[in-house]
Amino acid sequence: MAPDSTLMKAIRSALTWAALVLLIILWLPLLGVIRLFDWRAPHRATGRTFRYLGNLMTKVNPAWRITRTGTLPANRRGPYVVVSNHQSSADIPVISRLPWEMKWVAKAVLFKLPLAGWMMRLAGDIPVDRGDTASRAAVLPQASEMLKRQCSVMFMPEGTRSKDGRVRRFQDGAFRIAINAGVPVLPLAVDGTMDALPKHGWQFSGADVRLHVFDPIPTDGLTAADAPALRERARQRIVEQIAAWRGVPTEAVDGTLKTGEEDAKSTATPLNAPSGG
């Protein structure tokens, strides 16, 4: 890339971040006012307003070309346990474009951020500290309560962003919650966001971002012992979709094959979320 092109990319990225910060500053008081009247859980109106901010964020950068495929569920309220692979912080606004409310299980440190973290709390999202056993255990009743109130819950079962765009091993927590609540699992596949905003990077790039919505996977009749099989069924759908988009074999997308990880090593360590890891 030519030096002037590198400079222009940095300038465009700085301007984009400035626009995003301005959006967040403007959105916080609006969210606070809505929450005053939306005081009953699951705070659906507050949550939808917050997700719409994510939708606007994807439009600030015109170099992002976002395509959604698949079929939206007929019953958009569900509830569902929604699961997705995780490539970039850009996954969050891209997935927020979906036209239904869901509470995100997200890294606890994000809730401590000024402005954005405050809005996550107002929207009723669920914090989890992966290093804290009590925090992980607290996700189960919180997520279950949202599902009882007919509000979907969003997980990223890899637990952190992929370093290379491959789909890593999923953990069981989200799938155990779905089975326990008797609700379907709704898988999503996302690709291209790593190019849009690389991990640990701050500069935005032009990217073709794809989001695919799969048919829900029912959990009727399943028990906790079926969680690993349910996990792999959802994960395999995502791997196959990303491989099809890229025109490569599934082995090139399956991140568990690179390190020789085995399914037996996937324990019930719960609940993974969009993170900065």
Helix (H) or strand (E) segment spanning residue 222:
none
**Cα(230)–Cα(60) distance, rounded to whole angstroms?**
37
CB 80 within 8 A of CB 177: no
State pLDDT tens for residues 70-126: 999 999 988 999 999 999 999 999 999 999 999 999 999 999 999 999 999 999 999
Measured torsion, CA atoms of residues 99, 105, 110, 114, in degrees rounded to the nearest 10: 50
pLDDT score for 5: 79
Taking 70 as the threshold, does the pLDDT of residue 255 lie above it? yes
Q: Answer whether CATH 3.40.1130 is correct for domain 3-265.
A: yes
- Number of Cβ within 10 Å of residue 68's Cβ equals 14
Parse the chain into domains and list their residue ranges. 3-265
pLDDT tier at 203, thresholds 50, 70, 90: confident
145 token code pair: 């309560």
User: What is the distance of C-alpha 115 from the center of its chain?
Assistant: 19
Q: State the pTM of this model.
A: 0.88
pLDDT score for 260: 47
Which of 66-70, 98-102, 162-166, 197-201 is the least confident region?
Answer: 197-201
Which of 4-8, 114-118, 238-242 is the least confident region?
Answer: 4-8
CB 19 within 8 A of CB 93: no
